[in-house]
Amino acid sequence: MPEKAKRKYVIVTDSTCDMPPELYSQMGVKVMKLSFEIDGHTHSDGDMDYHEFYDMMRKGSTTKTSQISPAQSETAFEKYVKKGLDVLYLGFSSGLSGTYNSACIARDNLLEKYPEAKIICIDSLCASMGEGLLLYKAWEKMCEGLGIDEVAKWIEDNKLHLVHLFTVDDLVYLQRGGRISKVTAVAGAILGIKPILHVDDEGRLVKIDKVRGRRQSLNKIIDIMCERIEGYDNPVIGISHGDCWGDADYIADLARKKLGQDTKVITSYVGTVIGAHSGPGTLAFFFMGDKR
């Protein structure tokens, strides 16, 4: 049996976990929100209705995003450190954002002020519900009685087994973000090519395959899952989507046929910060496997 933690601790994370809001409440985690702009108006991640957000993007609205600052992280951490609680922070991939680095700056500043405190910052190297699913599993370990160091070690040992598989319906958003060239985007649109992307071991979004047709891209994601899942139990998997519930339901049904009907599927929107780069029609699938 694991030893009980000598000091109580809390888990802090970012809004880029893209989890259903009720799960954050259930887990009792503090969520720091990144921000985004749409047509020049600034909002906190998740504060706009998701359907409205994606509908605006479909109509041509422009978007950009901002990371969490060191000051925001310091304020969030200090709230708990003042109370004598330790902090385990699970951060958005450093391969996609500077938010994790902001948290490290905040940690160093606070440890000078509160030398008795423990603040552990972990670069999840994950995005969207990949980060969220890792958070969920860390919370389960916390509930089992593992202390902050034990949970942190479990995360570090397992984070590169959290597989992220993405596909998008419209290549224009990846082209705007510099993920693909304009020529590739135009050719893909004409030919109906859909890319399969993943988050690699450096936490970056990388294309790994391409297929023709939306339904084929969803089927391919499940094929890849079957190749990578051997030896790993997956009682819980994650699906996030850019306002395409039908496709999310379709891939959930395929996954349950492979993994068992009792598999818990956590489904939620791709949030407004990540969605600002991936666009409407994004479908992302997350599970534990032998490699990313």
Q: What is the spatial distance between Cα 124 and Cα 152, in angstroms, rounded to a whole number?
A: 11
At 5 the pLDDT is 43
Mean pLDDT, range 232-259, rounded to an integer: 97
Average predicted confidence (pLDDT) for the chain: 93
CB neighbours of residue 212 within 10 Å: 11
- Regarding whether 151 and 37 lie in a shared domain, the answer is yes
Where helices occur in 159-234 by DSSP H, the ranges are: 172-176, 182-191, 214-228
- Regarding whether 47 and 97 lie in a shared domain, the answer is yes
At 216 the pLDDT is 96
Mean pLDDT, range 215-240, rounded to an integer: 96
Q: Residue 1: inside a domain, yes or no?
A: no
- Regarding whether 191 and 124 lie in a shared domain, the answer is no
For 24-62, how does the pLDDT look when each residue is reduced to its tens digit (9 = 90+)? 999 999 999 999 999 999 999 999 999 999 999 999 999
For 85-141, how does the pLDDT look when each residue is reduced to its tens digit (9 = 90+)? 999 999 999 999 999 999 999 999 999 999 999 999 999 999 999 999 999 999 999
Task: Provide the CATH number for the domain around residue 218.
Answer: 3.30.1180.10
Overall domain count for the chain: 2
Whether the predicted pLDDT of 2 surpasses 60: no
Cβ(175)–Cβ(290) under 8 Å?
Answer: no
Cβ neighbours of residue 94 closer than 8 Å, sequence gap 6 or more: 100, 101, 123, 125, 203
